[in-house]
Structure 1
Amino acid sequence: MDFIFDCFFEDTFEKITRSGLQDRSSRRDVLDHLNAVIGGCSDGQNMHTEEVARLAVLSAVKYHREKMDANGDVCLMGKYHNILYIALRTCWEWGVRDSAVVVVLLEEIYTCEKTFERIFLGALFGTHAPHFIAGWRSDFRDQDENTRAMVYFLHHATSLGLQLPVLLAHVQDERMVRFIDIPIESCGKASPLRVAIQAGAPDLLLILLRYGAEPNPPDGGSSAVHALMDKLIERDRHYIYQDVSCLNILLRNLTLIEMPCEEGMFFLQKERFLVKYGALLLDKIIPKEQVFGIMPLKHLCRVRIRDLLRATNQLPDGIDTLRLPRKMQRYIDLMEE
């Protein structure tokens, strides 16, 4: 079976020019051909299609790695790199369940690109936007399909705790960052969570937080909650619904809204906070107790439980294992206020 896919990729790619897979329709043609081979092998060998697709993905990664090794460990790009996106789509379409294989593919993509924008951008902005933002077209039909694909890859990456080295400019050092927090290169190296906030996309923000995105992203930017409050006060108390929804969702993950405070300067900082964000308190956009008081115990427990589950890569699936009433599980999973 491995030999069949190795031959398929060698024969197919030999006939394609270096730039022959730049457009989505060309990648779709190869993918349709590959899907026919997967279906035929499944019938001929009496194997489940998902298992055959798994072998096809491994063969694609192997092909890419061999070409890269032959070029001094540098990706040849063009068709040799786009094979990874044919494999990515194969994973999604056939529902490959082996997280180890999915993670191997993601790691191979990251080796060349140092970002996962082709998974996240289409979900955040729709499938046409990436062409204008980054110069490539999404492999998914529409934003909904891209979002479901994003969740699929989030699930597999989180289940194995995928972390990758990221050079963080603000510390001038490499740090291990989880898949969900890897900065998006063409969006100023901002984390997916920060991009979702700037895009005013509460549905996407909720998905990212449910799957364990850091509410304070490690991308070196300012505090996400302060950035969102700054965005809200720009319109002189004419609040955009999507931005308010993003703030409500983000605040479910924080014990308090911290004020930048130097020792012995609390009252001065409090006064400055009120001057700048007082309208948000008056209009009940942010709860006063989350700035100057103490939030209800159930909220503090939710944040603590989520912090523990996030640290062990168990969001959101680990919530179902907690011996708690379903309503309480939904509260911890950010699905209820």
Structure 2
Amino acid sequence: MKALKWHGARDLRLEIIARRPLKAGEIRIEVAYCGICGSDMHEYLHGPDSIPVKAPHPLSNSVAPIVIGHEFCGTVVETAADVTGLQLGDRVAVEPEYRCGHCTYCREGRYNLCESMGFVGLMGDGGMAEEAVVPAYMAHVLPRSLSFRQAAVAEPAAVALHGVRQSALRPGDDCVIFGMGAIGLLLVMMARHHGAGRIIAVDVDPRRLQLAREVGASDTVDASLGDAVQQVRELTGGVGVPVAFEAVGRPETLKGALGVLSKGGEAVLLGLMPEASIDTFDLVNRELRITSSVGYRGLYPELLELMASGAVDAERIVTHTVSLEAAIQNGFERLASAGDAIKVLVQPQQEACA
């Protein structure tokens, strides 16, 4: 079968690989769509960040090169003999977090913090292939009304939903979201669904800010036109907001997220950055809080029903669909160019149902 494998930074290769036999507890999925995530872009541009290159991951037993991609869905075409609850032909979305099931965090239900935490497509072979093999516990059967294209965006939508739930945001609260990439736009949707009051979207791209308005932002701030913190302060009468989300992964947007907070406010970090400096005097003096959010836990069935009902239209962030053969040039490189792409879906099976 065809698969896109990561060998190193700027070194993705479309290869023909063998279909491996299933192990106990595994299923084989014919992949309909696989989204290109910001984490995939980190690995493509300057990895390895998370991909194991020296020692295998403890749960996947995999080491680079690996099949990249963790935002995927498809059809179950084979199950191991011990798998129950799934049938051949089931349409499923993949919740791609590995979990050991026995560490303290897994026993408490916080499996996104598993001591051996990892993701299919980063720490083990993923979904940018004609077929993918995953543990059966990762598969969630899709509601009948949910299309594959919608399901392909369930994983980043889960990131956004978990981020909102990690926050102190209450119905009626105003908030600011920095970065209108895929996660930022989904945060707008989830904050609106959560009942947020005024949602202020911050970015430097007018096209993304327009889309933010269309999916639920009350106000937008174009940071290319001046100090974003000052603009937000003007919009809020100098008070700021109780909650800000950082979905870019840059020190300057972290500074901005803290800067727009009212006293006692909270900045929620979803973006990935190696390090940043913080004005701790200001942090303490205004009694600010910093919260972080990684992955998701225990929300996929609810999220899929939410999407199926139309309450959240996550497919709105999809801007391009490309074949597996064109994924490098028309997917990864297009995203790297900072052009018009927001969410690119790779379609390994050209006949996959939309």
- TM > 0.5 between the two? no
Flag the structure with higher strand content: 2
Q: Which has the larger radius of gyration?
A: 1
Larger RCO (alpha carbons 8 Å, 6+ apart): 2
